[in-house]
A and B are shown apart, each in its own frame.
Chain A
Amino acid sequence: MSLAARRSASAMRGHENVKEIAGSAGLALVALVVWQVASGLTFVIPTPVETLRVLVANLGDPAYLTDVRATAVAVVSAFTVGTVLGGIMGLVLGLSRWARLIFEPLVIALNGVPKIVLYPILLPIFQLSGSKVVMGILFALFPVLINVATGVREVPAVYWKLGRSVQASRVQMLLHIILPTIRRPLLTGIRLAASLAVVGVVLSEFFATRRGLGRVVLQSYGHGDYAEMVATILLLIVVSFTVSIMLWRWEKRIR
């Protein structure tokens, strides 16, 4: 009975999953149909097919690929540095009562601030190429920082006692107790950091940069080349959406 029960239960859950994925895909299809209809109503919206054609053509264009690379490099660096920096700062804030008392209010306050307005301040310091990475780091940093700090603070008391009773070293404590315990909030932070790194970099590119997809979007907007604009927005959204969904599914699995 036990095995059969478990098998049928998991089959049921699998069935549910399939239904939900189908539902979510259906929703995307509905959005596509709405897009198609909307493109018929106004000339400023290109059709899905036209957009896809431009996108494919773009991806074969070396100049466009240079922009893709510029944005990708900036995003990946911002994400990496932001996550590591945020993780370390989060650990410090979570572990030290004094660090928390002194810095937490400022951290929370800064998190609620539209950080993009600081971009003009960054420009003279980090130049055109560096500023967007710094902005991306500022965007990516906070979710990791706050989730790690909160996660560490909520590590159950008994785990600390366990660590002390087996005389775990600080490193062992971190690797074998703290990190496994906070893995869920940490992953959530990382997922948000990935999306926010994209937003930070592209917003900066909207403002000012030499190369990058944000600049392509605004330039094609200026030229009235809406197919190019939508194709580029679509590329950015689809990539960050896919990464986000993958991280989210991973997060759900390790629950």
Chain B
Amino acid sequence: MMTSVMGGDVEPGTGDDVSIERPDTESDRPVQLPRRWRLSDPLISAGATAGLLVVMAVVAEVGARSGWWRASTLPATSTMLSGVAGLMDDPQFWSDLTRSGLEIGLAILFGSTAGLLSGLLFWKLPTLGRIFEPYLVSFYAVPMVLFYPLAIVVVGINASSVVILATIMATIPVALNTTVGLNGIRPVYLKLSRSLQCKPHQMLFSIALPAAAPFIVAGLRLGVVYALIGSIAMEFVTAQAGLGYRIRYYYEIFDNDRMFAYILVVLVLSVLLTALLAGLERLVVKGRTS
């Protein structure tokens, strides 16, 4: 997660992909393995992750089958997987997926736009930024979902109450990170742009936004994750449709197999989204660090 200058929560590339080597004793170990025996770090990570997943799957399979726990607590892996396969030709599942996807997509779209624009505004008007700062910083950690019951009272139990709150949740990290990124532009770039007589749009698109890009992208990534987490969580509390809602529904009607299939799908989809975003982020900051 992120640590910020403004809010205290932002730093580009923190978390998964910090490439700064830990400056410890490893580097001056007297003995080093010959180069060709060493696997590359990403390969080790990928292998280890795959291995851990396989171990968990096997434990779940064996454990459920040999009755280490009740199958209703955690069904066997094969049961869950066949449940997921069963969802593939279940129209209910596709409509839930569409509903959640639509909510999350809209929240991301509105949230990123609003976040970017407010970030630019807070950069141009620093006093305004500092006035909003305490609120953004505290709502950052998303007690926004606590407003959901209020939202459904006012707006109704429908997609728009989810979209509204998820949008706000997505806006905040984007706005904060954009502000921090823009405020952190090195003064020499501003001097450069003045000395080359950049026009305002050249300044914005050729200097300010690219310079702040690592922060902005980190913010966008958080915004996407928050839109996803928020939407699913709100559906889970109460809704009429959507992946989160269906998990609750199947829990209440004791349809465990389908519930676990849905949970698995939600987990896999969010992990895929996270991976996609990390890849996208790497693409944007390519070349910046050696």
A112 to B152, CA, bound (A): 25
With an 8 Å Cβ cutoff, the count of chain B residues facing the other chain is 73
Residue positions of B touching A, CB distance < 8 A: 1, 3-4, 7-9, 11, 14-16, 18, 20, 22-26, 41, 44-46, 48-49, 52, 70, 72-74, 127-128, 130-135, 137-138, 140-143, 145-147, 149-150, 152-154, 225, 228-229, 232-233, 236-238, 244, 247-248, 251, 259, 262-263, 266-267, 270-271, 273-275, 278
Beyond contacts A154-B18, A233-B147: 11 other A-B pairs, Cβ-Cβ < 8 A, are A20-B133, A27-B132, A105-B49, A108-B16, A111-B274, A114-B236, A120-B263, A146-B15, A187-B8, A188-B9, A229-B149
Which of these binds chain B: A2-10, A58-66, A243-251? A243-251
Residues of B within 8 A of A233 (CB): 146-147, 149-150
With an 8 Å Cβ cutoff, the count of chain A residues facing the other chain is 79
Q: Which residue from A192, A195, A240 sits with its C-beta under 8 Å from B1?
A: A192
Q: Which residue from B133, B134, B274 sits with its C-beta under 8 Å from A109?
A: B274
Residues of A within 8 A of B267 (CB): 113, 117
Find out whether the CB atom of B130 lies under 8 angstroms from the CB atom of A117: no
Residue positions of A touching B, CB distance < 8 A: 19-20, 23-24, 26-27, 42, 44-45, 94-95, 97, 101-106, 108-109, 111-121, 124-125, 142-143, 146-147, 150-157, 160, 164, 184-185, 187-189, 191-192, 194-196, 198-199, 202-203, 206-207, 217-218, 221, 226, 229-230, 233, 236-237, 240-241, 244-245, 248, 251-252
Find out whether the CB atom of B131 lies under 8 angstroms from the CB atom of A116: no
Find out whether the CB atom of B232 lies under 8 angstroms from the CB atom of A117: yes
Q: How many A-B Cβ pairs are below 8 Å?
A: 218
Shortest CB-to-CB span from A143 to chain B, Å, is 5
* A to B CB contacts below 8 Å, 17 in the list: A42-B154, A44-B153, A45-B154, A97-B22, A105-B16, A105-B45, A108-B15, A112-B228, A112-B273, A112-B274, A114-B228, A117-B232, A117-B244, A207-B236, A233-B149, A237-B146, A251-B8
Closest 6 CB pairs of A and B: A157-B23, A195-B141, A23-B131, A112-B274, A114-B232, A102-B48
